[in-house]
């Protein structure tokens, strides 16, 4: 599961990092509380050019009659993505990267209260999450949407959540984006045990209206 993310890298730096052409309608950064159904930064390759663009976080299968015409598909399971009708074409032809500073997961205490955790790269670098995308709707109302690919969590993260996003290393960006032939399926696996670090944060982030860098500050113990 990956249901909330933080994006802090400036747009220009993001475009330079991925050698991508930036669109003009990108979401404002930093944003420490990016929620499903809102726009996220996405890297895709089209016509041999990488693009940095905004996409709706919440994949829209072609058969949805409206934006809320079915379940909200913010994640796609790596184990079944190639077989699921909603994702199988996108998995073959429309893979993307979702650059993030980190993401949130939740555990529960004995009373059922949701306790948030912030998860980021061990070295604090930007993470490139594996994703898939597609266009939905008539041409004059076209919506470009995306989902983050997830897999079973590694042993260290399993204490927080049993799923984690697939993270694509820089050397594999071209392969995942379809620039280097076949073999992208081999990338859909959990990150190594030391790749990520995580810490508890305040329950402020439980609200999708919360904002600010304090959301990722480690909770005092």
Cβ atoms of 34 and 6 within 8 Å: the answer is yes
How far from each other are the two terminal CA atoms of the chain, in whole angstroms?
26
pLDDT in tens, 67-83: 999 999 999 999 999 99
Ordered by where they begin, the domains of the chain are 5-100+127-150+163-193 (3.90.1680.10)
Burial of 155 (0-12, 13-18, 19+ CB in 10 A): exposed
Strands of 31-34's sheet, edge to edge?
Answer: 31-34, 5-7, 102-108, 114-121, 196-200
- Token pair of 108, please? 């529960």
pLDDT score of 218: 97
> Strand 31-34 relative to strand 127-136: parallel, antiparallel, unpaired?
unpaired
- Token pair of 196, please? 């990520």
Cα 200 to Cα 160: distance, rounded to the nearest angstrom: 10
**Please, where are the H alpha helices in the chain?**
11-18, 88-93, 173-176
Cα 152 to Cα 80: distance, rounded to the nearest angstrom: 12
- Burial string for 172-200 (b: 16+ CB within 10 Å, else e) reads bbbbbbbeeeeebeebbebbeeebbebee
pTM (2 decimals)?
0.97
3-state class of 66 per DSSP?
Answer: coil
pLDDT score of 210: 97
pLDDT tens digits in sequence order for the chain, 221 residues long? 689 999 999 999 999 999 999 999 999 999 999 999 999 999 999 999 999 999 999 999 999 999 999 999 999 999 999 999 999 999 999 999 999 999 999 999 999 999 999 999 999 999 999 999 999 998 888 999 999 999 999 999 999 999 999 999 999 999 999 999 899 999 999 999 999 999 999 999 999 999 999 999 999 86
pLDDT score of 37: 97
pLDDT score of 19: 98
pLDDT score of 221: 66
């Amino acid at each position: 599961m990956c249901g909330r993310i933080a994006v802090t890298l400036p747009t220009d730096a993001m475009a330079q990092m991925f050698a991508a052409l930036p669109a003009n309608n990108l979401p404002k950064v930093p944003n420490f509380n990016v929620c499903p159904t809102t726009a996220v930064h996405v890297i895709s390759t089209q016509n041999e050019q990488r693009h940095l663009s905004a996409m709706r976080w919440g994949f829209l299968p072609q058969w949805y009659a409206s934006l809320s015409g079915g379940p909200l598909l913010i994640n796609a399971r790596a184990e079944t993505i190639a077989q699921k009708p909603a994702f199988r074409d996108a998995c073959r032809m429309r893979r993307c990267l979702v650059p993030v500073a980190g993401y949130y997961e939740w555990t529960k205490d004995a009373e059922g209260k949701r306790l948030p955790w912030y998860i980021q790269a061990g070295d604090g670098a930007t993470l490139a999450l594996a994703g898939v995308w597609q266009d939905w709707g008539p041409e004059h109302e076209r919506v470009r949407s995306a989902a983050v690919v997830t897999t079973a969590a590694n042993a260290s993260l399993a204490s927080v959540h049993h799923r984690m996003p697939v993270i694509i290393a820089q050397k594999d960006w071209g392969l995942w984006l379809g620039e280097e032939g076949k073999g992208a399926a081999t990338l859909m696996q959990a990150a190594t045990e030391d790749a990520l670090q995580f810490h508890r944060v305040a329950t402020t982030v439980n609200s999708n209206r919360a904002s600010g860098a304090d959301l990722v500050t480690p909770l005092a113990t």
